[in-house]
Amino acid sequence: MSRHTQQLFEWARDVPETPVPLQPPVTATPEAAAQPHDQIQELRSPHWADVPCAVPLSGAIEAGVFSVTTDGPIEPDEAEVRAMTEEHGRELVAIFADIQAVEDARRTGEDPRSGRPPRTPDAQMKLAEFLEREEPRLKSAYSAALEAYARGFGAQAATELDAWARKTVADCTIDPKDRYEPGHPWHYLPQGDNAPPIPVEEIEPDFDIGKLIERELPKNLSKRREKLRVMLASEQARLEEDKRRYQEIIQRGAEALSRYDREIAHSSDEMARATALSLKYNHLRYGLGRVAWIARQLGTDSPTIVIDAVRKSPTHQP
Protein backbone atom coordinates (compact mmCIF):
# COMPACT_ATOMS: atom_id res chain seq x y z
CA MET A 1 0.00 0.00 0.00
CA SER A 2 1.56 3.25 -0.99
CA ARG A 3 1.49 6.08 1.49
CA HIS A 4 0.00 9.08 -0.27
CA THR A 5 0.53 12.46 1.29
CA GLN A 6 -0.61 15.74 -0.22
CA GLN A 7 2.66 17.11 -1.56
CA LEU A 8 1.69 18.14 -5.08
CA PHE A 9 0.71 21.75 -4.58
CA GLU A 10 1.22 23.51 -1.31
CA TRP A 11 -1.10 26.41 -2.16
CA ALA A 12 -0.12 29.30 0.09
CA ARG A 13 -2.93 30.64 2.24
CA ASP A 14 -1.10 33.96 2.61
CA VAL A 15 1.42 35.71 0.39
CA PRO A 16 4.90 34.77 1.64
CA GLU A 17 7.21 37.58 2.68
CA THR A 18 10.05 35.98 0.77
CA PRO A 19 9.47 34.86 -2.84
CA VAL A 20 9.17 31.09 -3.08
CA PRO A 21 9.90 29.51 -6.47
CA LEU A 22 7.31 27.14 -7.92
CA GLN A 23 8.39 23.64 -6.93
CA PRO A 24 7.85 20.52 -9.03
CA PRO A 25 5.45 17.94 -7.58
CA VAL A 26 6.93 15.31 -5.31
CA THR A 27 5.99 11.69 -5.87
CA ALA A 28 5.12 9.65 -2.80
CA THR A 29 7.44 6.76 -1.96
CA PRO A 30 5.76 3.34 -1.97
CA GLU A 31 5.77 1.44 1.27
CA ALA A 32 5.49 -2.03 -0.23
CA ALA A 33 6.13 -3.64 -3.59
CA ALA A 34 2.51 -4.69 -4.06
CA GLN A 35 0.53 -1.50 -4.58
CA PRO A 36 -3.26 -1.72 -5.00
CA HIS A 37 -3.33 1.02 -7.61
CA ASP A 38 -1.11 -1.13 -9.85
CA GLN A 39 -4.42 -2.73 -10.83
CA ILE A 40 -5.13 0.45 -12.83
CA GLN A 41 -2.92 -0.98 -15.55
CA GLU A 42 -4.78 -4.31 -15.68
CA LEU A 43 -7.52 -3.21 -18.06
CA ARG A 44 -6.26 -0.08 -19.80
CA SER A 45 -4.16 3.00 -19.13
CA PRO A 46 -5.87 6.20 -18.02
CA HIS A 47 -6.27 8.94 -20.62
CA TRP A 48 -4.40 11.67 -18.80
CA ALA A 49 -4.98 14.10 -21.67
CA ASP A 50 -8.71 14.02 -20.83
CA VAL A 51 -8.20 15.53 -17.40
CA PRO A 52 -10.43 18.64 -17.07
CA CYS A 53 -8.31 21.81 -16.93
CA ALA A 54 -9.69 24.98 -15.35
CA VAL A 55 -8.68 28.63 -15.39
CA PRO A 56 -6.83 29.74 -12.23
CA LEU A 57 -8.86 31.97 -9.94
CA SER A 58 -7.84 35.63 -10.24
CA GLY A 59 -8.06 35.98 -6.47
CA ALA A 60 -5.75 32.98 -6.04
CA ILE A 61 -3.20 34.50 -8.40
CA GLU A 62 -3.30 37.85 -6.60
CA ALA A 63 -2.93 36.10 -3.25
CA GLY A 64 0.22 34.34 -4.43
CA VAL A 65 -1.28 30.86 -4.37
CA PHE A 66 0.92 29.87 -7.31
CA SER A 67 3.89 31.56 -5.63
CA VAL A 68 5.38 35.01 -6.15
CA THR A 69 8.58 36.51 -7.50
CA THR A 70 10.18 39.92 -7.10
CA ASP A 71 7.99 40.98 -10.04
CA GLY A 72 4.83 39.93 -8.26
CA PRO A 73 2.47 36.93 -8.16
CA ILE A 74 2.95 34.12 -10.67
CA GLU A 75 0.16 33.56 -13.16
CA PRO A 76 0.59 30.06 -14.66
CA ASP A 77 0.17 29.79 -18.40
CA GLU A 78 -1.93 27.19 -20.18
CA ALA A 79 0.88 24.62 -20.38
CA GLU A 80 1.70 25.02 -16.69
CA VAL A 81 -1.96 24.69 -15.72
CA ARG A 82 -2.25 21.46 -17.73
CA ALA A 83 0.94 20.06 -16.20
CA MET A 84 -0.24 20.86 -12.66
CA THR A 85 -3.72 19.50 -13.27
CA GLU A 86 -2.50 16.27 -14.87
CA GLU A 87 -0.05 15.66 -12.03
CA HIS A 88 -2.72 16.42 -9.45
CA GLY A 89 -5.09 14.09 -11.29
CA ARG A 90 -2.52 11.30 -11.16
CA GLU A 91 -2.26 11.67 -7.40
CA LEU A 92 -6.04 11.64 -6.97
CA VAL A 93 -6.36 8.53 -9.13
CA ALA A 94 -3.67 6.73 -7.14
CA ILE A 95 -5.23 7.63 -3.79
CA PHE A 96 -8.74 6.74 -4.90
CA ALA A 97 -7.55 3.39 -6.27
CA ASP A 98 -6.08 2.67 -2.84
CA ILE A 99 -9.36 3.68 -1.18
CA GLN A 100 -11.17 1.24 -3.45
CA ALA A 101 -8.65 -1.46 -2.57
CA VAL A 102 -9.21 -0.92 1.15
CA GLU A 103 -13.00 -1.02 0.74
CA ASP A 104 -12.70 -4.21 -1.33
CA ALA A 105 -10.46 -5.73 1.35
CA ARG A 106 -13.07 -5.06 4.02
CA ARG A 107 -15.62 -6.87 1.90
CA THR A 108 -13.49 -9.82 0.75
CA GLY A 109 -11.13 -10.27 3.69
CA GLU A 110 -8.10 -10.22 1.38
CA ASP A 111 -5.00 -8.21 2.20
CA PRO A 112 -4.75 -5.47 -0.49
CA ARG A 113 -0.94 -5.61 -0.30
CA SER A 114 -0.73 -9.29 -1.21
CA GLY A 115 -4.10 -10.14 -2.74
CA ARG A 116 -4.45 -13.08 -0.33
CA PRO A 117 -6.48 -13.54 2.87
CA PRO A 118 -4.48 -13.78 6.12
CA ARG A 119 -4.09 -17.36 7.35
CA THR A 120 -3.98 -16.91 11.12
CA PRO A 121 -6.22 -15.11 13.62
CA ASP A 122 -3.30 -12.86 14.54
CA ALA A 123 -2.76 -11.91 10.89
CA GLN A 124 -6.48 -11.30 10.48
CA MET A 125 -6.45 -8.95 13.46
CA LYS A 126 -3.43 -7.06 12.14
CA LEU A 127 -5.09 -6.69 8.75
CA ALA A 128 -8.28 -5.35 10.35
CA GLU A 129 -6.24 -2.83 12.35
CA PHE A 130 -4.34 -1.81 9.22
CA LEU A 131 -7.53 -1.26 7.25
CA GLU A 132 -9.06 0.65 10.16
CA ARG A 133 -6.13 3.09 10.08
CA GLU A 134 -5.67 3.19 6.33
CA GLU A 135 -9.18 4.07 5.20
CA PRO A 136 -9.54 7.38 7.10
CA ARG A 137 -5.93 8.31 6.24
CA LEU A 138 -6.50 7.81 2.53
CA LYS A 139 -9.84 9.61 2.55
CA SER A 140 -8.28 12.50 4.43
CA ALA A 141 -5.46 12.68 1.89
CA TYR A 142 -7.97 12.65 -0.97
CA SER A 143 -10.03 15.45 0.58
CA ALA A 144 -6.89 17.48 1.26
CA ALA A 145 -5.82 17.10 -2.37
CA LEU A 146 -9.18 18.37 -3.61
CA GLU A 147 -9.18 21.26 -1.14
CA ALA A 148 -5.71 22.28 -2.28
CA TYR A 149 -6.79 22.23 -5.91
CA ALA A 150 -9.93 24.23 -5.10
CA ARG A 151 -7.82 27.00 -3.53
CA GLY A 152 -6.16 27.56 -6.87
CA PHE A 153 -8.97 26.78 -9.31
CA GLY A 154 -12.28 26.95 -7.44
CA ALA A 155 -14.83 24.54 -6.00
CA GLN A 156 -16.45 23.72 -9.36
CA ALA A 157 -13.10 22.82 -10.91
CA ALA A 158 -12.33 20.58 -7.91
CA THR A 159 -15.71 18.86 -8.30
CA GLU A 160 -15.00 18.17 -11.98
CA LEU A 161 -11.51 16.83 -11.22
CA ASP A 162 -12.97 14.63 -8.47
CA ALA A 163 -15.55 13.18 -10.90
CA TRP A 164 -12.82 12.60 -13.50
CA ALA A 165 -10.57 10.78 -11.01
CA ARG A 166 -13.39 8.52 -9.78
CA LYS A 167 -14.50 7.70 -13.32
CA THR A 168 -10.90 7.04 -14.39
CA VAL A 169 -10.40 4.52 -11.59
CA ALA A 170 -13.70 2.83 -12.48
CA ASP A 171 -12.84 2.75 -16.19
CA CYS A 172 -9.43 1.24 -15.53
CA THR A 173 -10.27 -1.27 -12.82
CA ILE A 174 -13.80 -2.50 -13.59
CA ASP A 175 -14.25 -5.03 -16.34
CA PRO A 176 -17.09 -3.97 -18.69
CA LYS A 177 -18.97 -7.20 -17.95
CA ASP A 178 -19.03 -6.25 -14.26
CA ARG A 179 -20.55 -2.81 -14.81
CA TYR A 180 -24.11 -1.85 -14.01
CA GLU A 181 -26.52 -1.21 -16.86
CA PRO A 182 -27.84 2.38 -17.24
CA GLY A 183 -31.21 1.04 -16.10
CA HIS A 184 -29.71 0.32 -12.65
CA PRO A 185 -29.24 3.13 -10.05
CA TRP A 186 -25.69 2.02 -9.26
CA HIS A 187 -24.67 2.91 -12.80
CA TYR A 188 -24.77 6.56 -11.66
CA LEU A 189 -23.63 6.40 -8.03
CA PRO A 190 -20.03 7.31 -7.09
CA GLN A 191 -19.67 4.03 -5.20
CA GLY A 192 -20.92 2.18 -8.31
CA ASP A 193 -19.88 2.96 -11.89
CA ASN A 194 -20.08 6.75 -11.33
CA ALA A 195 -21.13 7.04 -14.98
CA PRO A 196 -22.85 10.04 -16.60
CA PRO A 197 -26.39 9.72 -17.97
CA ILE A 198 -26.69 8.34 -21.50
CA PRO A 199 -27.64 11.06 -24.03
CA VAL A 200 -31.11 10.53 -25.50
CA GLU A 201 -29.73 10.02 -29.00
CA GLU A 202 -27.60 7.13 -27.75
CA ILE A 203 -30.34 5.19 -25.93
CA GLU A 204 -31.04 1.97 -27.78
CA PRO A 205 -34.69 0.85 -28.19
CA ASP A 206 -35.83 -2.37 -26.55
CA PHE A 207 -37.37 -3.95 -29.62
CA ASP A 208 -38.54 -7.02 -27.69
CA ILE A 209 -40.85 -4.95 -25.48
CA GLY A 210 -43.02 -4.17 -28.51
CA LYS A 211 -44.05 -7.79 -28.79
CA LEU A 212 -46.16 -7.36 -25.66
CA ILE A 213 -48.42 -4.98 -27.60
CA GLU A 214 -49.65 -7.91 -29.67
CA ARG A 215 -52.03 -9.05 -26.94
CA GLU A 216 -53.68 -5.62 -26.86
CA LEU A 217 -54.59 -5.66 -30.57
CA PRO A 218 -57.86 -6.87 -32.16
CA LYS A 219 -57.76 -9.65 -34.74
CA ASN A 220 -59.68 -7.67 -37.37
CA LEU A 221 -57.08 -6.07 -39.68
CA SER A 222 -58.82 -2.71 -40.15
CA LYS A 223 -59.51 -2.37 -36.43
CA ARG A 224 -55.98 -3.50 -35.74
CA ARG A 225 -54.47 -0.74 -37.91
CA GLU A 226 -56.71 1.90 -36.38
CA LYS A 227 -55.73 0.75 -32.91
CA LEU A 228 -52.06 0.89 -33.89
CA ARG A 229 -52.40 4.46 -35.21
CA VAL A 230 -54.00 5.58 -31.95
CA MET A 231 -51.35 3.76 -29.95
CA LEU A 232 -48.52 5.29 -32.00
CA ALA A 233 -49.75 8.83 -31.29
CA SER A 234 -50.12 7.99 -27.59
CA GLU A 235 -46.69 6.34 -27.35
CA GLN A 236 -44.98 9.26 -29.09
CA ALA A 237 -46.64 11.75 -26.71
CA ARG A 238 -45.54 9.65 -23.73
CA LEU A 239 -42.03 9.42 -25.15
CA GLU A 240 -41.85 13.20 -25.47
CA GLU A 241 -42.80 13.59 -21.82
CA ASP A 242 -40.25 10.97 -20.75
CA LYS A 243 -37.57 12.81 -22.71
CA ARG A 244 -38.50 16.11 -21.11
CA ARG A 245 -38.38 14.59 -17.62
CA TYR A 246 -35.10 12.77 -18.30
CA GLN A 247 -33.45 16.02 -19.43
CA GLU A 248 -34.83 17.84 -16.40
CA ILE A 249 -33.31 15.30 -14.01
CA ILE A 250 -29.97 15.49 -15.84
CA GLN A 251 -29.91 19.28 -15.64
CA ARG A 252 -31.31 19.83 -12.14
CA GLY A 253 -30.39 16.61 -10.35
CA ALA A 254 -32.19 15.98 -7.06
CA GLU A 255 -33.71 19.47 -7.23
CA ALA A 256 -36.03 18.13 -9.94
CA LEU A 257 -37.45 15.50 -7.56
CA SER A 258 -40.19 15.65 -4.96
CA ARG A 259 -39.60 15.98 -1.24
CA TYR A 260 -40.93 12.44 -0.81
CA ASP A 261 -38.32 11.06 -3.23
CA ARG A 262 -35.49 12.93 -1.55
CA GLU A 263 -36.36 12.58 2.14
CA ILE A 264 -38.52 9.46 2.50
CA ALA A 265 -38.17 7.06 -0.44
CA HIS A 266 -34.36 7.27 -0.62
CA SER A 267 -31.49 7.59 1.81
CA SER A 268 -29.79 10.49 0.02
CA ASP A 269 -30.14 12.94 -2.86
CA GLU A 270 -27.53 10.93 -4.75
CA MET A 271 -29.62 7.77 -4.52
CA ALA A 272 -32.82 9.64 -5.38
CA ARG A 273 -31.22 11.11 -8.51
CA ALA A 274 -29.68 7.78 -9.53
CA THR A 275 -32.98 5.93 -9.11
CA ALA A 276 -34.90 8.56 -11.07
CA LEU A 277 -32.38 8.47 -13.92
CA SER A 278 -32.42 4.67 -14.10
CA LEU A 279 -36.23 4.55 -14.16
CA LYS A 280 -36.53 7.23 -16.81
CA TYR A 281 -33.81 5.57 -18.90
CA ASN A 282 -35.86 2.36 -18.85
CA HIS A 283 -39.01 4.30 -19.75
CA LEU A 284 -37.25 5.80 -22.77
CA ARG A 285 -35.80 2.48 -23.87
CA TYR A 286 -39.18 0.78 -23.63
CA GLY A 287 -40.95 3.71 -25.29
CA LEU A 288 -38.52 3.78 -28.20
CA GLY A 289 -39.02 0.04 -28.62
CA ARG A 290 -42.81 0.32 -28.62
CA VAL A 291 -42.78 3.17 -31.15
CA ALA A 292 -40.44 1.23 -33.43
CA TRP A 293 -42.54 -1.94 -33.21
CA ILE A 294 -45.80 -0.12 -33.94
CA ALA A 295 -44.22 1.70 -36.89
CA ARG A 296 -43.03 -1.61 -38.28
CA GLN A 297 -46.53 -3.08 -37.96
CA LEU A 298 -48.11 -0.12 -39.74
CA GLY A 299 -45.48 -0.25 -42.46
CA THR A 300 -45.69 3.50 -42.96
CA ASP A 301 -42.18 4.46 -41.92
CA SER A 302 -38.96 2.69 -41.11
CA PRO A 303 -38.65 2.21 -37.33
CA THR A 304 -35.27 3.93 -37.55
CA ILE A 305 -36.81 6.97 -39.24
CA VAL A 306 -39.53 7.16 -36.59
CA ILE A 307 -37.04 6.87 -33.72
CA ASP A 308 -34.73 9.49 -35.25
CA ALA A 309 -37.68 11.84 -35.68
CA VAL A 310 -38.62 11.42 -32.04
CA ARG A 311 -35.05 11.99 -30.88
CA LYS A 312 -34.71 15.15 -32.96
CA SER A 313 -38.01 16.67 -31.84
CA PRO A 314 -37.94 20.04 -29.96
CA THR A 315 -38.06 18.30 -26.59
CA HIS A 316 -34.64 16.73 -27.17
CA GLN A 317 -31.71 18.80 -25.90
CA PRO A 318 -28.37 17.27 -26.87
Whether 264 is covered by a domain: the verdict is yes
Torsion region of 244: left, alpha or beta (phi above 0 gives left; psi -120 to 50 gives alpha): alpha
| Tens of pLDDT, residues 73-130 | 999 999 999 999 998 998 998 898 888 888 888 888 888 888 788 889 898 899 889 9
Does some domain include residue 152? yes
Q: Which residue has the higher pLDDT, 103 or 46?
A: 103
Q: What pTM was estimated for this model as a whole?
A: 0.49
- pLDDT confidence of 55, banded at 50, 70, 90? very high
**Residue 191 lies inside a defined structural domain of this protein:** no
pLDDT of residue 213: 84
Q: Are 145 and 248 members of one domain?
A: no
Pair 83, 205 in one domain: no
The per-residue pLDDT for 315 is: 47
**Strands 68-69 vs 72-73: parallel, antiparallel or unpaired:** antiparallel
193 domain residue, yes or no: no
Query: Residue 106: what residue type?
Result: R
Instruction: Identify whether residues 301 and 261 lie together within a single domain.
Output: yes
Buried b (16+ CB within 10 A) or exposed e, 182-205: bbbbbbbbeebbbbebbebeebeb
In a shared domain, residues 214 and 89: no
Q: Model confidence over 220-251: pLDDT tens digits?
A: 989 999 999 999 999 999 999 999 999 999 99
Q: For 44, what's the count of Cα atoms within 13 Å in the CB-facing half-sphere?
A: 9
d(CA 142, CA 251) in angstroms, rounded, equals 27
Residues 159 and 216 in one domain: no
Check whether residue 169 and residue 292 sit in a common domain.
no
pLDDT in tens, 256-278: 999 888 888 888 898 999 999 99
285 is in which domain, residue-wise? 200-311
What mean pLDDT is reported for the chain?
79
Question: Are 45 and 156 in a shared domain?
Answer: yes
DSSP state, 263? I
The verdict on residue 269 lying in a domain is yes
pLDDT per position as a tens digit, 145-185: 999 999 999 999 999 998 888 888 877 766 655 677 889 88
Whether 18 is in a domain gets the answer no
Does a structural domain hold residue 109?
yes
Is the same domain home to 113 and 214? no
Confidence band (pLDDT; 50, 70, 90) for 45? Answer: low
For residue 50, is pLDDT > 90?
A: no
State how far the Cα of 6 lies from the Cα of 143, in Å rounded to an integer.
9
Q: Are residues 108 and 237 in the same domain?
A: no
Is residue 161 domain-shared with residue 223, that is, in the same domain? Answer: no
**How many structural domains are present in the chain?**
2
* Helix/strand/coil for 180: coil
Is the residue at 206 inside a domain?
Answer: yes
